[in-house]
Amino acid sequence: MASAGSARIHQAGGGADCMSAPALEASGTVPVHEDLATSGGVLRVTRAGAGAPVILLHGGFGCWAHWIGNIGALARERLVIAPDLPGFGDSWDPGHCLSPEEQAVVVLEMMDRLGIASAHLAGFSFGTLVAVQLALAQPQRVRSVTLVNLPGVGERTPEALALPSRLSALSREQGKRAGVNGSLRELMLCQHQLIDDALVDLIGDSIARCRYVTRSISKASQMIPLLAQLQCPAMVLIGARDPFHSNDLEGRRARIDAVLGAGAVRIVPDAAHWLQYDQADVFNRALIEFTGAGKQT
Would you say residue 129 lies in a domain? yes
Would you say residue 297 lies in a domain? no
pLDDT at position 20 over 70: no
Would you say residue 196 lies in a domain? yes
Using pLDDT thresholds of 50, 70 and 90, give the confidence band for residue 6: low
Would you say residue 162 lies in a domain? yes
pLDDT at position 13 over 90: no
C-alpha closest to that of 149 among 252, 231, 220: 252
Whether residue 289 contacts residue 52, with contact meaning beta carbons closer than 8 Å, is answered with no
pTM for this predicted structure: 0.91
Would you say residue 1 lies in a domain? no
Mapping DSSP to helix (H, G, I), strand (E, B) and coil, where does residue 161 land? helix
pLDDT at position 11 over 80: no
Identify which has the larger pLDDT, 37 or 21.
Answer: 37
Would you say residue 161 lies in a domain? yes
Would you say residue 296 lies in a domain? no
pLDDT at position 26 over 90: no
Euclidean distance between CA atoms 91 and 115, whole angstroms: 20
CA angle 59, 97, 123 (to 5 degrees): 20
120 φ/ψ angles, rounded to the nearest 5 degrees? -80, 140
CATH of the domain at 145: 3.40.50.1820
7-11, 72-76, 230-234, 251-255: segment of lowest average pLDDT: 7-11
Would you say residue 228 lies in a domain? yes
Domain region containing 184: 7-290
How many domains does the chain divide into? 1
